[in-house]
Amino acid sequence: MSLNIIVLAKQVPDTRNVGKDAMKEDGTINRSALPAIFNPEDLNALEQALKLKDENPGTTVTVLTMGPGRAAEIIREGMYRGADGGIVLSDRAFAGADTLATSYALATAVRKIGNFDLIIGGRQAIDGDTAQVGPQIAEKLNLPQVTYAEEIIEAKDGKVTVKRRLENGVETVRAPYPCVVTVNGSAAPCRPRNAKNLQKFKYAAAPSELAQDDARKPLIEKRPFLGIGEWNAEYVGADLNQCGLAGSPTKVKAIENVVFTAKEARNVENTDQALEELIQELIVNHTIG
């Protein structure tokens, strides 16, 4: 049976790759030096969706992301790997959103898409590591949720069977769909780009990308599947009081940068006192512990 799957994805700064030039001299983050990437666990989620598409011919996979217009990059990336298309949810009104305001906005977009069986996303994004948006979307849409998924074993007869990876073992659950599944990093890695898809979707673009360079416009008019959707708050009918900073119950009171020592080796003496001080330093700056 064919399925309609929405994959939730986020374009994130590569916080795992904080190298020498990623920190400014004053110890703050130089965000522009961090490459923007497809959130790793969202790629695991995409793979689960594409696997279901392989197993259930006729299935469509739509990538939904919230972010600036350039986030269309990850939708194209998803299309190169096998997704059918995607939508960027983009509006200044969404800026400064915490997880609750983010899930509210995404839930309104999911409602606008309307016809879906499964919403699959990564467990968490590496810039926040909260793992909250998936369950919160499920709650907003009044759907069951299955978190920490390692494998979606099958989707059959209105039910999805999922293997979950927990702290001390695994659990297999069966949930009726529509439902929300969030996928763990321990799941199968995403398949690479497919050469045919790369050819097919190379010129896919979102409206804000075309506004900067309209060379692709005539082509997209001829081939509508190359159009990446770009929706704003008004289009999805979002209540602005629940979006962005205004809709966020949590506020950031203070930010303290973890100042990294310059990349010059510090010799730590092989004495009890020096080693204990090293450990204390690593605990204080949250490297360990």
Q: Which amino acid is at 209?
A: E
Question: Is residue 286 a contact residue for other proteins (CB under 8 A)?
Answer: yes
Of residues 165 through 184, those in contact with other proteins by CB under 8 A are 165-176
Q: Are 218 and 68 in contact (CB under 8 A)?
A: no
Question: Is residue 17 a contact residue for other proteins (CB under 8 A)?
Answer: yes
Q: Are 146 and 48 in contact (CB under 8 A)?
A: no
Residue owning tokens 């392989």: 54
Q: Which of 68, 135, 207, 227 binds other proteins (CB under 8 A)?
A: 135
Question: Is residue 58 a contact residue for other proteins (CB under 8 A)?
Answer: no
Report the distance separating Cα 149 and Cα 128, nearest Å.
19
Site size with other proteins, rule: CB under 8 A: 79
Q: Which is nearer to other proteins, 84 or 154 (CB)?
A: 154
Strand, coil or helix: 66: strand
Question: Is residue 280 a contact residue for other proteins (CB under 8 A)?
Answer: yes
Question: Is residue 239 a contact residue for other proteins (CB under 8 A)?
Answer: no
Q: Which stretch binds other proteins (CB under 8 A): 72-80, 127-135, 196-204, 214-222?
A: 127-135
Question: Is residue 266 a contact residue for other proteins (CB under 8 A)?
Answer: yes
Residue owning tokens 């999922």: 162
User: In the complex, what is the shortest distance from the CB of residue 146 to other proteins, in angstroms, rounded to a whole number?
Assistant: 7
The 3-state secondary structure of 130-161 reads: CCCHHHHHHHHCCCCEEEEEEEEEEEECCEEE
User: In the complex, what is the shortest distance from the CB of residue 71 to other proteins, in angstroms, rounded to a whole number?
Assistant: 18
Q: Residue 127 corresponds to which tokens in the numbers above?
A: 């810039």
Report the distance separating Cα 67 and Cα 10, nearest Å.
8
Neighbours of 186 (CB within 10 A): 14
Q: Are 231 and 87 in contact (CB under 8 A)?
A: yes
Of residues 187 through 226, those in contact with other proteins by CB under 8 A are none
Q: Which of 33, 112, 139, 227 binds other proteins (CB under 8 A)?
A: 139
User: In the complex, what is the shortest distance from the CB of residue 9 to other proteins, in angstroms, rounded to a whole number?
Assistant: 18
Q: Which stretch binds other proteins (CB under 8 A): 56-64, 81-89, 132-140, 221-229?
A: 132-140
Tell me the pairing of strands 169-176 and 159-166.
Answer: antiparallel
Report the distance separating Cα 118 and Cα 56, nearest Å.
13
User: In the complex, what is the shortest distance from the CB of residue 224 to other proteins, in angstroms, rounded to a whole number?
Assistant: 35
Q: Which is nearer to other proteins, 135 or 227 (CB)?
A: 135
Q: Which is nearer to other proteins, 67 or 134 (CB)?
A: 134
Q: Which helix (H) or strand (E) holds 171?
A: strand 169-176
Neighbours of 164 (CB within 10 A): 18
Q: Which is nearer to other proteins, 219 or 279 (CB)?
A: 279
Question: Is residue 253 a contact residue for other proteins (CB under 8 A)?
Answer: yes
Q: Which stretch binds other proteins (CB under 8 A): 78-86, 190-198, 204-212, 263-271?
A: 263-271
